Structure 1
């Protein structure tokens, strides 16, 4: 059964995911073979654990689009090189979403539209791409057009109940903060420290 919403809406959600993946792939560009031991803005993860978490996220998104539901994540057993695994997973994921007809995806027993899952995935990938960029010292901001498109979506998919478990409290950005800085601040990161 196909969901009755315009194909353009699904394409928009997939486009956001594609743009977020492109950004995140750029942040890991030169890390293949690196030991990935440094700290990250995600205090409980080092760089290797963060990239492994990104791989888990991509696996969950692929599971959702291929199987119609997302199970609780299995702990990452650890690819020999999680950066190479991330590149491969990103390619596979985009192929799966490109073939999607937009069927609902069940997450924790709740049916969600494919658009909701794709845009939530885009937020996850973009903010963790930023985390990788900070951890490597490159400090590549989330591209302004992508951040502007994601900012209005965040309050629709992330509630205050998510904050103690998945995100820190929102950080108040300066008045003239860039869209990328506003996005990561909304998700509990402080790009000004």
Structure 2
């Protein structure tokens, strides 16, 4: 794979996600997504809820999550698309600094974790949930090959841990000849052939 600088990863993951967000129609908010526990509205809410914490981790500033969970709060009132576009941009900007990927950082709570691990998670979340939203709303996003190679490598390394934490579902078998994105999705427990 081409060796992308860490500082470029989040911005390259974020740009297609922002386009997907801009093209979601109001009548699609209750549509199911490949992320089984969320419909479109709930997944947008999840991104809005965790965005400040992921941004803070890139800045090495802990942003406490609200007391309620992302399933108890609805942040999709008002101009949610503009709010989420701004938040995705802020998160990408925070992780565009080389120092974001150095040392350790925290998302919530006192546990220090390797910053490259959290940065990788941020990039994978943008791509995966972008794909979820695109599939649910009939869009065809495109991430560049080098970024997808990074995502696949990252998921290959963390898939088992992700399953233990409940972040990934059981692996979905995907042909070795499938696209890099499809192979990464399968490792995360997504069915690349999912259709609404």
Same fold (TM over 0.5): yes
Q: Mind listing any 5+ residue stretches in structure 1 that lack a counterpart? A: 1-8
User: Shift of residue 155 of structure 1?
Assistant: 3.4
User: Shift of residue 48 of structure 1?
Assistant: 0.9
Aligned residues: 184
Q: Counterpart in 1 of 2:153?
A: 152
Q: Equivalents in 1 of 2:82, 2:43: separation in Å?
A: 14
Distance 1:21 1:45, change over 3 A: same
Q: Counterpart in 2 of 1:53?
A: 46
Find the partner of 1:26 among 14, 19, 41. 19
Q: Counterpart in 2 of 1:106?
A: 106
User: Shift of residue 129 of structure 1?
Assistant: 0.3
Per-residue deviation, residues 92-138 of structure 1 (Å, max 9, x unmatched): 22333345633521245432233222111000110000000100112
How large is the Cα RMSD of the aligned pairs?
Answer: 2.7
SS at match of 1:125: helix
Per-residue deviation, residues 11-67 of structure 1 (Å, max 9, x unmatched): 823321111111211222322655611111112211111111122232221122335
Q: Counterpart in 1 of 2:86?
A: 88
Q: Counterpart in 1 of 2:116?
A: 115
Distance 1:111 1:164, change over 3 A: closer
Q: Counterpart in 1 of 2:55?
A: 62
Q: Counterpart in 2 of 1:190?
A: 191
Q: Equivalents in 1 of 2:98, 2:165: separation in Å?
A: 33
SS at match of 2:112: strand
Find the partner of 1:43 among 5, 15, 36. 36
Q: Are 1:77 and 2:78 an aligned pair?
A: no
Q: Mind listing any 5+ residue stretches in structure 2 that lack a counterpart? A: none
Q: Equivalents in 2 of 1:98, 1:146: separation in Å?
A: 14
